[in-house]
Structure 1
Amino acid sequence: MSYTLNVVAVSGSLHSPSKTTALVREILDVLGNELAIDVHLIELSEIGREFSGALNRDELSDAAEQELRKIENADLLIVASPVYRASFTGLFKHVFDFVGQYALIDKPVLLAATGGSDRHALILEHQFRPLFSFFQALTLPLGVYAKDSDFTNYRVTSDELRERIRQSITRGLPQVRASLPSELFADSTAIVW
């Protein structure tokens, strides 16, 4: 019996269609080619209003609470946002303000972002890593940054970007595996990498 990795992806884009969501889907496709995954994609362009008026977690709707629980219970998080005023979107941060402070300890997180040009690529290091460091999550060694020219009609068309995605996943898989319960490895057929 093989183990299916519970992957939750969060796209912080406030628009649809979205290059950020297209990037997340591409990452999920590449990851799915590497191992068995069960995917839940949270698009803030669709669910964001469920979070926007709340000041604390007990004010959230049932739909928003369910999404937070999925984030907290994932085996792997993939988080992405467009660069907006030198950071991730405010709604992206607002959603993670509701996540339990200790719910992401040792959880692997693949960081991704989109922006107009390469000038914004350091968002991964200067915005995302500190946020997930607060949660004591394990950010994977390589994040994925994509610029506008990597897309055509909201689809990834850059082979260089596809290679960066593959490299990020390849370099991150050992951390993902190390984060899983050791009893999954008692049977050597449980996880196929």
Structure 2
Amino acid sequence: MTEPLNLFAFSGSHSSNSKTAILIDAVVEEIARTLPIRVTSANIAPFMDNPLGQRRKDLPETARAILDGIENADLLVMGSPVYKGSYSGAFKHVIDMIEPEGLLHKPVLLCAAGGGQRHALMVEHQLRPLFGFFGAASAPIAIYASAADFTEDKITDPALQDRIRLAVKGFAQMVNTI
């Protein structure tokens, strides 16, 4: 049996039951059916203790541990809520704390959740270029979910469930060729 890959899942939402967190959890569950993984998950809450910390050393230990986890993971699932057509400022602040070479060639599956379909291209126009700057290996298919895809705290839209499976299939193929 092959050694499990370390997957770090990060939600740019501070809530563990946000649409973004629910989406990321569903993606991670699908990846676990496809690849041998060891999962660590975190959200943005630890960064809110010092939201304007400009250097890594200014952050609380829990926030620094998240950055280390992101940089040291074999695989990433990264997601942000959509605000005004883009990722949140807090999500960008976390990404700004990552070392420039910290994501180089790292496989990442990008996710976002927003209120409606008008934000659907955010993953392509905002998230993908952000991770491209770091030289991360973004999966060919990203995942966007809107509020209509959920009933309470569950993904209920069959099209989104299919997209998750399709995105994870491509992600797994990409990972297996590395």
Same fold (TM over 0.5): yes
User: What is the match of residue 3 of structure 1?
Assistant: 3
- Is residue 39 of structure 2 the alignment partner of residue 39 of structure 1? yes
Q: CA deviation at 1:28?
A: 0.7
User: What is the match of residue 66 of structure 2?
Assistant: 67
Would the aligned equivalents of 2:34 and 2:172 in 1 still touch at CA under 8 Å?
Answer: no
- Is residue 31 of structure 2 the alignment partner of residue 27 of structure 1? no
Distance 1:51 1:136, change over 3 A: farther
* Residues 151-166 of structure 1: pairs in structure 2 closer than 5 A: 151-166=150-165
Rg comparison, structure with higher value: 1
Q: What TM-score, normalized by structure 2, do the two folds share? A: 0.95
- Deviation digits for residues 12-35 of structure 1, max 9, x if unmatched? 113453011000000011111112
Would the aligned equivalents of 1:50 and 1:63 in 2 still touch at CA under 8 Å?
Answer: no
Bigger mean CA offset, 58-67 vs 86-95: 58-67
Q: CA deviation at 1:2?
A: 2.1
The alignment partner of 2:86 has SS state of coil
Give me the whole-angstrom Cα distance separating, in 2, the residues matched to 1:68 and 1:160: 33
What percentage of residue pairs aligned between the two structures are identical? 40
Give the aligned residue type for 1:146.
Answer: A
Q: CA deviation at 1:51?
A: 4.9
Would the aligned equivalents of 1:115 and 1:148 in 2 still touch at CA under 8 Å?
Answer: yes
Would the aligned equivalents of 1:78 and 1:111 in 2 still touch at CA under 8 Å?
Answer: yes
Give me the whole-angstrom Cα distance separating, in 2, the residues matched to 1:143 and 1:51: 30
Bigger mean CA offset, 97-106 vs 59-68: 59-68
Q: CA deviation at 1:47?
A: 1.9
Unmatched segments (≥5 aa) in structure 2: none
Would the aligned equivalents of 2:74 and 2:107 in 1 still touch at CA under 8 Å?
Answer: yes
Unmatched segments (≥5 aa) in structure 1: 180-193
Give me the whole-angstrom Cα distance separating, in 1, the residues matched to 2:175 and 2:144: 20
The alignment partner of 1:125 has SS state of helix
Give me the whole-angstrom Cα distance separating, in 2, the residues matched to 1:121 and 1:33: 26
Q: CA deviation at 1:48?
A: 2.8
Give the aligned residue type for 1:10.
Answer: F
Give the aligned residue type for 1:114.
Answer: A
* Residues 1-193 of structure 1: pairs in structure 2 closer than 5 A: 1-44=1-44, 46-179=45-178
Would the aligned equivalents of 1:51 and 1:94 in 2 still touch at CA under 8 Å?
Answer: no
Q: CA deviation at 1:142?
A: 0.1
Q: What TM-score, normalized by structure 1, do the two folds share? A: 0.88
Would the aligned equivalents of 1:110 and 1:139 in 2 still touch at CA under 8 Å?
Answer: yes
